[in-house]
Homo-oligomer: A and B are copies of this chain.
Amino acid sequence: MIPPLANDTFLRALRREPVPHVPVWLMRQAGRYLPEYNVVRRKAGSFMGLATSPSLAAEVTLQPLARYPLDAAILFSDILTVPDAMGLGLTFAEGEGPRFARTVSSDADVARLAVPPMDALRYVFDACAEIKRGLHGRVPLIGFAGSPFTLACYMIEGRGGSDFATVRRMAAARPDLLARIVDVNARAVSAYLAGQVAAGVDAVMLFDTWGGLLPWEAYARFSLAPMRAILSTLPPALPTIAFTKGGAQWLDALAGCGASCIGLDWTADLAAARARVGDRVALQGNLDPLVLTTDDRTVETAVRATLAAAGPAPGYVFNLGHGIVPDTSPELVDVLVRTVHAASAR
């Protein structure tokens, strides 16, 4: 049996309860900057080989916890597992990012789109259960999904891109079509997160990587509203985090989306965000990930500045403002985590 959590500071911070130190975890804390990750990645043969193996996914999820006194684990997976389960054929070309074999752009494509059977994502739920056993109550496990709009970006373009022109054009010229895609995605993500919760995750996070590319009205309709719809289907007591890259300008609206916590990217003014949201939600963020490619002293100074900006109020989780970059120094991650704990200890 799995014992109760020995360290629940992360969950308490999401609930805006007092904590003995500021909890810290890092987006992409399991990944290419760790030599031990690359060993498993090579063994798996491909990124999807790794992501679809519950035992390998669990192994890499736990790797950063063995190195650093992090306050949470996050499921190792990818946001695109959901559209892959819809039959779009996901692959990761070496060094090129994700590609879908089929895109969704015509009326006929959209008409064919449906919530996939959750059995197609069983490997993710199995990984969650295996990670929970491996953690043995040390720290909470975070489940996650891509936001319906961010999934739509990849489904429509077939790959990542710097400006997602096709998606922005659809938002303006065929809002009915985009609305149908994000609606299917929202229902799929709701079912997907319910499966992760059933498998034992302690909190969930929605990653809205590309909502920040939209005009405000389109963001409210195609990105924020479907996130709100998903959050409303989750168990009320489940702590939740919503993150829109570039979303700080819409913080008031985000703070009302139903998430316990709003993740801020590295450009956001954390002190101003704290003043604006008051005690409505917890905040998470937002050190520039590039700081982890500099030196000890720069990391220490930047961590202390971030903690100072967050202020003394409860309801704060330390994190980067975006995912760890591959040329991050593993030693500097250690400096970061230890500085957060030492500088925030009550």
Q: Chain B residues near A233 (CB, 8 Å)?
A: none
With A and B bound together, what is the CA distance between A173 and B172 in angstroms? 42
With A and B bound together, what is the CA distance between A325 and B165 in angstroms? 10
| Cβ distance A149 to chain B, nearest Cβ, rounded Å | 13
A74 within 8 A of B: no
The answer to whether B216 and A173 have CB atoms under 8 Å apart is no
Produce 1/0 per residue, A209-227, CB < 8 A to B: 0001111110100000000
Spot the interface stretch: A14-22, A180-188, A289-297: A289-297
Known: A213-B267, A298-B172, A305-B217. A290 touches B165 (CB 8 A): yes
A162 within 8 A of B: yes
Please state the number of chain copies in the assembly: 2
Which residues from 22 to 46 on chain A have a C-beta closer than 8 Å to any C-beta of chain B? none
With A and B bound together, what is the CA distance between A291 and B266 in angstroms? 29
Q: Binding site of A, secondary structure by majority: helix, strand, loop or mixed?
A: helix
Q: Chain B residues near A214 (CB, 8 Å)?
A: 267
Which residues from 277 to 329 on chain A have a C-beta closer than 8 Å to any C-beta of chain B? 286, 288, 290-291, 293-295, 298, 302, 305, 321, 325
With A and B bound together, what is the CA distance between A286 and B293 in angstroms? 36
A124 within 8 A of B: no
Q: Chain B residues near A246 (CB, 8 Å)?
A: 246, 267
A248 within 8 A of B: yes
With A and B bound together, what is the CA distance between A250 and B248 in angstroms? 9
Known: A172-B302, A217-B305, A325-B165. A212 touches B294 (CB 8 A): no
Q: Chain B residues near A293 (CB, 8 Å)?
A: 165, 169
Produce 1/0 per residue, A254-290, CB < 8 A to B: 0000000000001111101000000000000010101
The interface size of chain A toward B, counting residues with CB under 8 Å, comes to 36
Q: Chain B residues near A251 (CB, 8 Å)?
A: 249
With A and B bound together, what is the CA distance between A294 and B171 in angstroms? 10
A168 within 8 A of B: yes
Q: Chain B residues near A168 (CB, 8 Å)?
A: 288, 290
Which residues from 215 to 248 on chain A have a C-beta closer than 8 Å to any C-beta of chain B? 215-217, 219, 246, 248
Q: Chain B residues near A325 (CB, 8 Å)?
A: 165
Q: Chain B residues near A286 (CB, 8 Å)?
A: 215
The answer to whether B173 and A294 have CB atoms under 8 Å apart is yes
The answer to whether A291 and B172 have CB atoms under 8 Å apart is yes
The answer to whether A269 and B288 have CB atoms under 8 Å apart is no
| Cβ distance A278 to chain B, nearest Cβ, rounded Å | 18
Query: Which 4 pairs of residues, A with B, have the shortest CB-CB distance?
Result: A216-B269, A173-B294, A249-B249, A248-B249
